[in-house]
Amino acid sequence: MIELHNIRKCYDKKTALAIDHLVISPRECAGLVGNNGAGKTTLLSLILDLIKPTSGYVTLKGAGVSGTDDWKNYTGSFLNEGFLIPFLTPMEYFEFIAGLHGLNMEDVTAFLGANKGFYNEDITAKKYIRELSSGNKNKIGILASILWKPEILLLDEPFANLDPTSQSWLKFKLRELNSDGVTMIISSHDLNHISDISTRVLLLEEGSLIKDKVTGEDTLKELESYFKVR
């Protein structure tokens, strides 16, 4: 489903990411963990063709992301506020995203009604996205990424700036999406959440993939042990 082939991303003489081969199979939820600068956002950005690799290539469903736009029709993502359009209201933004995927405002309304536990009135008020809090911006980006039921979902720090109730809702939603067949890579500093939602954990350090394990009962303990102050 998602495959990285001999990927290298370098900036001047510094290697930001170096992965010989990585495959995320259909229906997996891969949790991506690592300290700041480990290469997590770089990995997600390469998959989305937002940056070009120094060498190697990425394929989604067997097709290179740099050679076709077809993958955009089945890949949902939200990495940061740069994905949003600040001069639109949230509803205008949802309508824009829906239109890209053949949906209409009725579809948006039905989707928001089914997921109203995740947002407050600021999302439906006539405020511009730029006027909203970081937490609400994050919610808008997450909602927009799943609005049209993608096959692949990539999220970078989705739990950031969310209150506990919203975090709990999001964990439930991600598990539900994965159960429905959505293949995911979720990057997060929150080891508890990653351990709860992932079927597999990928640990990056200084651009290298140093652990790749199926999630089990001891996953959280292992991660906490790895990241404890040495």
Dump pLDDT digits (tens) for 141-180. 999 999 999 999 999 999 999 999 999 999 999 999 999 9
Domains along the sequence of the chain with CATH: 1-67+150-158+181-230 (3.40.50.300), 75-149 (no CATH)
129 within 8 A of 90, measured Cβ to Cβ: yes
Q: Is the pLDDT of residue 115 over 70?
A: yes
Quote the distance between the C-alpha of residue 225 and its chain's center. 25
Whole-number Å distance between alpha carbons of 222 and 134 = 31
230 pLDDT tier (thresholds 50, 70, 90):
low
* pLDDT mean over 109-119: 95
What digits encode the pLDDT tens for the residues 83-95? 999 999 999 999 9
Percent of the chain with pLDDT over 70: 99
Tell me, what's the pLDDT at 13?
86
In sequence order, what are the beta bridge partners of 30? Answer: 185, 200
Q: Is-contact 215 201, C-beta < 8 A?
A: yes
pLDDT at 104: 96
pTM of the model: 0.95
Q: pLDDT band for 121, please (50, 70, 90 cuts).
A: confident
Q: What is the DSSP letter of 70?
A: G
Instruction: Tokens 């990425």: give the residue.
Output: 58
Q: Which residues contact 116 (CB under 8 A, 6 or more apart)?
A: none
- State what percent of residues in the chain have pLDDT above 90: 94
- Alpha helix (H) residue ranges in the chain: 40-47, 90-100, 105-114, 121-124, 134-146, 164-179, 191-197, 219-227
Please compute the mean of the pLDDT values over residues 94-122 and round it to a whole number.
95
Note the pLDDT of residue 208.
97
Express each pLDDT in 29-83 by its tens digit.
999 999 999 999 999 999 999 999 999 999 999 999 998 899 999 999 999 999 9
**Strands (DSSP E) along 85-189, which ranges?**
152-156, 183-187
- pLDDT reported for residue 195: 96
The answer to whether the beta carbons of residues 127 and 171 sit under 8 Å apart is no
d(CA 179, CA 6): 30
Average pLDDT, the chain: 95
How far is Cα 30 from Cα 51, in angstroms, rounded to an integer?
Answer: 21
Averaged over 201-206, what is the pLDDT?
96
Output the pLDDT for position 229.
67
